[in-house]
Amino acid sequence: MKHDSTPVGLLWISPWIVGFLLFTVIPVSMGLWYGFTDYTLLEKPIPVGLANYARMLQDDVLLTVLWNTALFAGASIVIGSILSIALAVLLSKPARFQSFWRAAVFAPSVLPVVAVAVIFKLGYDADTGMVNSAINTTVGWAGLQGPNWFGSRFWAMSALVLMSLWAVGPAVVIYLAGLRDVPRQLYEAAAIDGFGRWNRFVHITLPMISPVILFNVIIGIINAMQVFAIPVIMTGGGPDRATYFYSMYIYDQAFSYGDMGYASALGVVQFTIILVLTLLILLIGRRYVYYRGA
């Protein structure tokens, strides 16, 4: 009766194996190779050694997009994490209409990104947009005024970071699931020992959900490295390249300037950055993250 089911097993997962080879292994290897070539689509790729990578060292625009991407990633991850943990704690408490509040927080995340970019492009309009109207209506009496959002480098970046907070829904939901898994007895024991609300949060909640924070930070970095549609539609990278991001630069090199070689090399660097950051965070996490049962 006993027989080796290895061929059967491999046959069954073969759709994934074939897909993995076709859509991951081959493209990644091709990308690596094109990174060492000059490839303009008009002719066959010409090997140029490390020329594309040498070019990066002198590329001021690359420096700008790296800085912008890091700034956006840092700001949106830090603010987004604080906000989503706070929202998750708030939504985890028993309350009336709980599923309504949860749905309201999650809803913006299911909307088409192009439509979202369109709303906010108009919404941030200095004179007629909803953001400044809301600011003027609520705190206008105190002499505060909405800025000209896309007029300056600082406010343009701030506008994009603020907007990214509108899509915290998925992170909130993942934190909610993490909070649900924190054993109740811990809070009860701490309450008996006279721990206040803030201390319970810092000494129980945060350590218990630290693996979830780690997970969300990694996802946040991957997402921030890929941010594309929103800035393309809202700012086109401006003003003065203040919101020009890594993925937009790759897209432009490939499809606007037709420089597939350089664009591929940029893709390799992007992947390396994500990989190194992820490993670094996992390493740091090993020290500070609390894994139950591990």
Partner 1 sequence: MRNPMRTNPLAYIPLVLGTIVMLFPLWWMFIVSLETEEKAGSAMVSGSMLRLMPEDPQWNNYPDALREVGSVAWTGFLDALANSIVITVLVVIGTVLSSSLVGFAFARIRFRGRRFLFILMLSTMMLPAQVTMIPLFLLFRSLGWVDTILPLVVPSFFGTAFFIFMYRQFIAQIPESLVEAARIDGSGMLGIWWRIILPICKPVSALTAVFTFIYVWNDFMAPLIYLHSDEQMTLAVALNSFRTQYSGVEDVHLLMAVSIVTMVPCVLLFLAAQKYFIEGLGRGGLKG
CB closer to partner 1 out of 20 and 288: 20
Q: Of 29 and 78, which CB lies nearer to partner 1 in the complex structure?
A: 29
Residue 100 or 154 with smaller CB distance to partner 1: 100
- How far is residue 182 from each of residues 8, 26, 174, 212, measured CA to CA in Å? 41, 43, 13, 12
How many helices, marked H, and strands, marked E, lie in the chain? Answer: 15, 2
For partner 1, which is the closer residue by CB, 71 or 130?
130
Q: Is 234 exposed, middle or buried (0-12, 13-18, 19+ CB in 10 A)?
A: buried
Axis-axis angle for helices 260-288, 26-34 (nearest 10): 120
Q: How far apart are CA 222 and CA 270, in angstroms?
A: 10
Question: Residue 145 Cβ, how far from partner 1 at the closest point, in Å?
Answer: 10
Locate 257 and state its tokens.
Answer: 């300037």
Distance CA 270, CA 254 (A): 14
Closest contact distance (angstroms) between CB of 212 and partner 1 is: 7
CA–CA distance from 280 to each of 77, 286, 287 (Å)?
Answer: 16, 10, 11
Least distance (Å) from partner 1 to the CB of residue 44? 12
Task: Give the C-alpha separation, 219 to 81, whole Å.
Answer: 11
> Least distance from C-beta 75 to partner 1, angstroms?
18
Q: Nearest distance from residue 207's CB to partner 1, in Å?
A: 16
Would you say 54 or 134 has its CB closer to partner 1? 134
